[in-house]
Amino acid sequence: MNPDIDNQAQTTQVPSTTVTEASQTAQLTGSKGYVTTILDLVINVEFDEDFPELGEILIVEQTEKATPLLVNDIKSDGTVVCLNIMSDRTIKKGMAAVRTNHGIEVPTGEKIIGRVLDFMGNPLDGGEPIDKTAPRKDIFRVENKSTKFEALKPEIMETGIKVLDFFTPFVKGRKIGVIGGAGVGKTVLTTEIIHNVAKNSGVLSFFAGVGERIREGHELFETLRDSELLDSTGMFFGQMNENPVQRSLIAISATSALEYFRDEMKKDVLFFADNMYRYVQAKNELSTIMEQIPAEGGYEATIFSDIKTLQDRLSSNENGSITSVQTIYVPADDLSDPAVQMIQHELDSTLVLSRKVAEQGIRPAVDLTKTSSSLLTPEIVGQKHYDLSVQVQSLLQKYESLKGIIAIIGENELSPEDRADFAKAKALVKYFTQRMFVTEKMLGVPGEYVKREEMLDGVDRIVKGELKLEDLEKAEPKKKDSPKPVEATEIKSDESEPSTEPTAGEVIKPGEK
């Protein structure tokens, strides 16, 4: 990735040509309003007539860079509430804001593949701006859904990750959530899914970095570049250094690009969002700035509509499918958090990552008892997979209940049947750990891709008692040893004289040197 991407991300600006064109168009209409109130990123503009529409861009002409404002609300008294999307602090009361008669339009189509863009479609990768001939789409414009929608036949997409393929099957056109607190491996697991699925399926992928770390964006870009996957991936970044307006818009901008590929180009696409909780958090920050009364859980009063509006756009129709993987940060590791619960209700499968599991050195750190999926049905995954999932869940539930008993009386005091089931559960926990391709360089251990049928056979053998924990431990590859450093005393020249010094343990006789 271009080394200047950090600086570019912090100084994102609308291209001057775009602003100039918009400003000239606005001047032709003669419709102007004037700034009356400035409260952080919220700017009120008054119009006497010809009011702008919601989602429209206004241009403040007197500022040095022709600052764009986004119309967010129109009050009954005619006051237009706008958002200062570029955080321009040079705006003053009395300045004129001119209508542009259009909203935020992001480029889409083939020209954005392999590029890193911001919420307005401006490049963050140091490359040239997207060609003006590329089709553009208003991020707030939602096309009417076809009434001829037919349910797609379930199609399982193999990820090569055992725990995911078994507990939360990756089904085309559905939504999977990776839920967990900070530092449990959500981003690593998502990157591994991108690496495995995109590389084997050849389907177009899009990634939206919503309020996450710039470092993680760099690492993802490098992983995709090293894996030669950039030619089938588009990326939108609005990360934690950006203001809440941009962070709240980045997922919407990426979704708009997806809709074009699905509806106009008739393609199936994969969508990865990291992190969907940050989208809610950005909306909540804006709500606080606008002095709106929060909901009972402490989030914005519009949290339900904010989540629902975005999630409904990540849908499939007869033109193509959108398969999404969304990471959800869990504040204070509390799965009952209102935002987490609302996002989770929109998902078909939830893969829960646990800090307690991570502390045991298990990777991926999946809590197998809390992970669930509505797609684990015989009609979708087949009878064998479904039957195994029921047996595995029964063993894991028994494993959790027996751990407390064993802590008191010891494992030897259990009945033979309980000891056998406990051993099977431990073998299952070990079996579902896996080495990642994206951590090869860091850990020095090669990644692992396990086919779905091979994974099911392995689980079946463990349930039947044919494959045990010690067998798995023996088969586990060891970490590559680093080269042994050569000590200075071990380096000898071929032309050196034979040493006259005594060796260890040699006795020197009197009179000898």
**Model confidence over 251-270: pLDDT tens digits?**
999 999 999 999 999 999 99
Q: How far apart are CA 182 and CA 249, in angstroms?
A: 23
Q: Is 213 a catalytic residue?
A: yes
Residue from 136, 137, 186, 247 carrying the catalytic annotation: 186
Counting beta carbons within 10 angstroms of the beta carbon of residue 386, is it exposed (0 to 12), middle (13 to 18) or buried (19 or more)? middle
Q: Is 247 a catalytic residue?
A: no
Which residues partner with 488 through β-bridges?
none
How confident is the model at residue 62, as a pLDDT? 78
How confident is the model at residue 17, as a pLDDT? 41
ω into 364 cis (within 30 of 0): yes
Residue from 56, 105, 192, 212 carrying the catalytic annotation: 212
How confident is the model at residue 245, as a pLDDT? 95
Residues of the chain with pLDDT under 70: 1-30, 144-152, 478-513
Q: Which amino acid belongs to residue 304?
A: F
Domains delineated in the chain: 12-103 (2.40.10.170), 107-141+172-347 (3.40.50.300), 385-475 (1.10.1140.10)
Residue 45 near residue 69 (C-beta atoms within 8 A): yes
Q: How far apart are CA 28 and CA 25, in angstroms?
A: 5
How confident is the model at residue 503, as a pLDDT? 43
Residue 321 near residue 313 (C-beta atoms within 8 A): no
**Measured CA distances, 185 to 73, 164, 364, 400, 468 (Å):** 39, 14, 7, 23, 27
Residue from 46, 111, 155, 213 carrying the catalytic annotation: 213
Q: Is 212 a catalytic residue?
A: yes
Who contacts 24 (Cβ-Cβ below 8 Å, separation ≥6)?
Answer: none
Q: Is residue 189 classed as helix, strand or coil in its secondary structure?
A: helix
Q: Is residue 81 classed as helix, strand or coil in its secondary structure?
A: strand
How confident is the model at residue 413, as a pLDDT? 86
